[in-house]
Structure formats: C-alpha cells, structure tokens
C-alpha cells in the first residue's frame, strides 16, 4: 500500500487551519524539467498545499493559450513521461501532495497498471483526468484503489445531478469543479455559476470540492476560498514564469522559481484573507 501524501490529507490539514487549500498547476518541462521542479518547490515554500504537474500532450483540448505555449515548449524540448515521473519524485520530497494532470491517452499507452506502480513508487498522490469520465475509467479506478492513489474527476456548470453524483462517488481526494465552460486561462472574473456548482457537487456526495479555471488574482482566490475546499491556479504561474525570461528569451532557473513563489505568496494571501 502507498504511504504517499494524498491530496485529501493536504486539504483536510488546511481545513483544520480554517482555510481553503492552494493548488498549483505547472506543466512539466517548462521551461525545463529542472525549472518545473524549482518552481514547484518555491511555490510550496510560499504557501502551495498541493501541486499538479502537467504531463505534456500534443492535443491539450482543455488548456488555454498560455499553458498551450508552455506545453509546446516542453514538447519541443523533448519532455517525456519519464521526465514527469522524475519531477514527481523530486517534488514529493517536500512532503506536499503531488498530482499529475494528464489526458488519458498517454496513460493508456504507458499502461495503466504500470503507470500506477511507477507513479506510486515516485511518491505521486494521484491523477486529474479531464478527458475521461468515471464510467470509462474502470481500469484506472481499480489500479488507483490497489495503490491508494487519488482519482480526481471533473464537473462543470453543465453537469447534470446524475453526473455530479457519479463523479462524486468515483472521485478520491477531491472533485475538480471547472468554474466555467471552456479552456483554462486567466479571466477578469470567476464564472457566475461557480459557487452553485461547488454546493451542488457537495450535495451530490463529494467530501471535498476544489475550484479551478480562470483563477489568477488574490481577490479571486479570496472569493473562491469562502466556499471551496481548494483554489486551483495554473495560467497565472505560467505567465509569471514566461515573464521571468531575460530580454533574449532565456530562462534562468532561479528567476523562474522566484516568479512562481511570488504568485503563491500573493494567492495564499488572498486565501488567508477569506478566513
């Protein structure tokens, strides 16, 4: 059985402190594997509770422009599944829960049981799988159960009560509530249906519901932290990391880490203000 830190443990710890969790998404391989690890560790040091490491994929249907650029950079530099596992192992040494967010095809090609074994051995907590529903994930659910890994499925404002119930029952760790229909990215405001979606998902049986898509500022984090168990942010980190490059477009790992840490500090401040 796995002794890895799960997202549920991290979220419950934050709950005990009277606050929502900060969940940080970073695509592996941007600007390098080492840069991703440094950024994740800096984010954790500045208040991130759970890290989502993105497995680069050629057809990222859910990702907005900023993250797509980062994923293209990662793929262009030859980032592989083995690099993702290596990044998981290094970030997990911090004691934070480390999830991988991935489209299903890379896991299917790698082998579901093989992935669960290797990922668990690396210290991973579980998967967020945006393009597969529980009814199509029997192999993953079984493999995750065997290794005590989190299974994070998504719901959206369009989800029916039956879909919410099925997703809540199948998820382990938390349910990922997408605040709005569409792709990831920074927005001026969080979707108007976000709070209702969180409440409806809880009513459908979910123990923990974390909200993402469009969250980028401390004020938005404060708003969401008042009703959600976790605030999920990705594009704001990636944008700050892009902006850390020098005038020639060259990335320095220390600057990338500082940029990620600064975003975490700002967002954690917003979350703390919601207590």
Active site residues: 52, 63
Q: CA-CA distance, 73 to 178, in Å (whole number)?
A: 25
Q: How many CA atoms lie within 13 A of 208 on its CB side?
A: 25
- What values do phi and psi take at 212, rounded to 5? -140, -175
Inter-residue contact 24 to 234 (CB < 8 Å): yes
Bridge partner list, 54: 27, 101
Q: CA-CA distance, 9 to 66, in Å (whole number)?
A: 30
Instruction: Tell whether omega for the bond before 31 is within 30 degrees of 0, i.e. cis.
Output: yes
Q: CA-CA distance, 217 to 247, in Å (whole number)?
A: 26
**Cα-Cα-Cα-Cα dihedral of 33, 82, 27, 100, to 10°?**
-130
Residue whose C-alpha is closest to residue 172's, from 143, 136, 213, 198: 143
Bridge partner list, 27: 54
Q: Is 123 left (phi over 0), alpha (psi -120 to 50) or beta?
A: left
At which residue do the structure tokens 């850390």 appear?
Answer: 244
**Cα Dmax for the chain:** 52
Type and span of the H or E element at 32: none
């Amino acid at each position: 059985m796995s002794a890895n830190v799960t997202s549920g443990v991290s979220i419950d710890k934050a709950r005990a402190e009277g606050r929502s969790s900060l969940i940080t998404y970073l695509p592996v391989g941007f600007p390098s594997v080492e840069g991703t690890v440094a950024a994740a560790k800096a984010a954790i040091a500045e208040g991130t509770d759970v890290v989502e490491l993105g497995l680069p994929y050629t057809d990222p249907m859910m990702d907005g422009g900023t993250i797509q650029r980062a994923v293209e950079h990662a793929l262009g530099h030859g980032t592989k599944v083995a690099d993702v596992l290596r990044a998981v192992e290094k970030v997990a040494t911090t004691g934070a829960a480390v999830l991988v967010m991935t489209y299903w095809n890379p896991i299917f090609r790698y082998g579901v049981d093989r992935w669960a074994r290797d990922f668990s051995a690396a210290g991973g907590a579980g998967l967020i799988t945006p393009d597969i529903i529980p009814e199509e994930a029997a192999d993953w659910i079984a493999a995750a159960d065997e290794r005590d890994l989190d299974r994070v499925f998504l719901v959206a404002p369009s989800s029916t009560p039956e879909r919410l119930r099925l997703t809540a029952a199948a998820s382990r760790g938390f349910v990922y509530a997408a605040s709005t229909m569409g792709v990831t990215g920074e927005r001026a405001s969080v979707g108007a249906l976000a709070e209702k979606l969180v409440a409806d998902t809880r009513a459908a049986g979910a123990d923990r519901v974390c909200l993402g898509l469009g969250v980028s500022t401390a004020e938005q984090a404060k708003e969401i932290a008042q009703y959600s168990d976790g605030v999920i942010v990705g594009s704001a980190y990636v944008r700050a990391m892009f902006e850390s490059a020098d005038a020639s477009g060259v990335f320095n790992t220390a600057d990338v880490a500082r940029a990620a840490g600064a975003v975490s500090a700002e967002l954690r401040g917003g979350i703390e203000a919601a207590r």
